């Protein structure tokens, strides 16, 4: 461990000088390592990040619906974007991990990085209050916010497929489990999705029934859109 850890990193990377350094040693210590770890701070930081991102989106998109704001927030506070922020900060290099996690590359693992980022925000909130936590979150999440996709594209495939069909007055999809293989703790589901009105069927595979249904719905969306595009083209000619 560096003698000035994590003080130098906090100053040079975040421009932040802590009042209580112990909060940040805990925030950057994974449960696999000895000593106080970041699980409690991650719990708190998760709530703070959700609040600040919700506030930021509310201000940024004054005409967005509640559903759109919820989808935007979910896309910003999930493990993947938070881990990307942590990677940009080289946060993984500052984490204290147990020997097992070190051997398996835990400092690169998405879930560990995302949790550590939330713990860091939780520590800043306790150390300096909400305004300073807001400054850090707004500054660090700016790139993710600028790259937000259209709200409609953030809907899950089953919802998008259902809305496509309802817009044309067609019957809803019928999902049925075709096969389940594997041990109870590691099952693989195959689900069939059928659109009776359009005579279209496909199958999806996933580690749960829901994931398999989403996969099946995702593969049907372009087929439905292509069918309608062809029908419009035929009607226009």
Condensed to tens digits (0 to 9), the pLDDT of residues 119-170 reads 999 999 999 999 999 999 999 998 888 888 877 777 788 988 998 899 889 9
pLDDT at position 151 is: 74
Residue from 46, 127, 213, 215 carrying the catalytic annotation: 46
Element (H, E) at 209: helix 209-236
The closest of 166, 171, 213 to 189, measured between CA atoms, is 213
Taking the C-alpha atoms of residue 205 and residue 223, their distance in angstroms, rounded to an integer, is 18
Is residue 183 among the annotated active site residues? no
The closest of 31, 143, 24 to 81, measured between CA atoms, is 143
pLDDT at position 118 is: 97
Mean pLDDT for the stretch of residues 16-20: 95
Domain 7-149 falls in which CATH fold? Ribonuclease iii, N-terminal Endonuclease Domain; Chain A (1.10.1520)
Taking the C-alpha atoms of residue 76 and residue 123, their distance in angstroms, rounded to an integer, is 20
Task: Write the DSSP assignment of 17-52 as a string of letters.
Answer: --S-HHHHHHHTB-TTSSSS-SHHHHHHHHHHHHHH
Is residue 115 among the annotated active site residues? no
Mean pLDDT for the stretch of residues 81-87: 94
**Beta strands 200-206; 174-181: pairing state:** unpaired
Q: Is the pLDDT of residue 3 over 80?
A: no
237 — pLDDT class (breaks 50, 70, 90): low
Residue from 94, 101, 115, 118 carrying the catalytic annotation: 118
pLDDT at position 125 is: 98
Give the dihedral sign, CA 57/63/65/71: negative
The closest of 119, 97, 107 to 45, measured between CA atoms, is 119
pLDDT at position 2 is: 64
Domain 157-236 falls in which CATH fold? Double Stranded RNA Binding Domain (3.30.160)
Condensed to tens digits (0 to 9), the pLDDT of residues 167-201 reads 889 999 999 999 999 888 778 999 999 999 999 99
pLDDT at position 159 is: 87
* Region of poorest pLDDT, from 50-59, 98-107, 124-133, 223-232: 223-232
The domain segmentation of the chain, as residue ranges, is 7-149, 157-236
pLDDT at position 135 is: 95
Pairwise pLDDT comparison (8 vs 236), residue with the higher score = 8
Sheet holding 188-195, edge to edge: 174-181, 188-195, 200-206
């Amino acid at each position: 461990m560096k003698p000035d850890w994590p003080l130098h990193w906090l100053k040079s990377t975040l421009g932040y000088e802590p009042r209580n350094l112990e909060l940040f040693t805990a925030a950057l210590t994974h449960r696999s390592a000895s000593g106080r770890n970041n699980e409690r701070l991650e719990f708190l930081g998760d709530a703070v990040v959700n609040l600040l991102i919700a506030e930021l989106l509310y201000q940024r998109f004054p005409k967005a619906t509640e559903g759109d704001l919820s989808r935007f927030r979910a896309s910003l506070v999930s493990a993947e974007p938070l881990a990307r922020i942590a990677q940009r900060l080289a946060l993984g290099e500052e984490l204290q991990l147990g020997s097992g996690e070190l051997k398996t590359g835990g400092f690169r693992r998405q879930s560990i990085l995302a949790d550590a980022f939330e713990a860091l925000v939780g520590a800043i909130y306790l150390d300096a209050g909400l305004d300073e936590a807001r400054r850090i979150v707004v500054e660090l999440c700016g790139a993710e916010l600028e790259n937000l996709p259209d709200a409609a594209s953030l809907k899950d495939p089953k919802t998008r497929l259902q809305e496509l069909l309802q817009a044309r007055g067609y019957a809803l999809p019928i999902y049925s489990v075709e096969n389940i293989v594997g041990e109870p703790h590691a099952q693989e589901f195959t689900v069939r999705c059928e659109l009776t009105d359009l005579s279209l069927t496909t199958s999806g595979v996933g580690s749960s029934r829901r994931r398999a249904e989403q996969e099946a719905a995702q593969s049907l969306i372009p087929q439905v859109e292509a069918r309608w595009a062809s029908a419009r083209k035929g009607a226009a000619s």
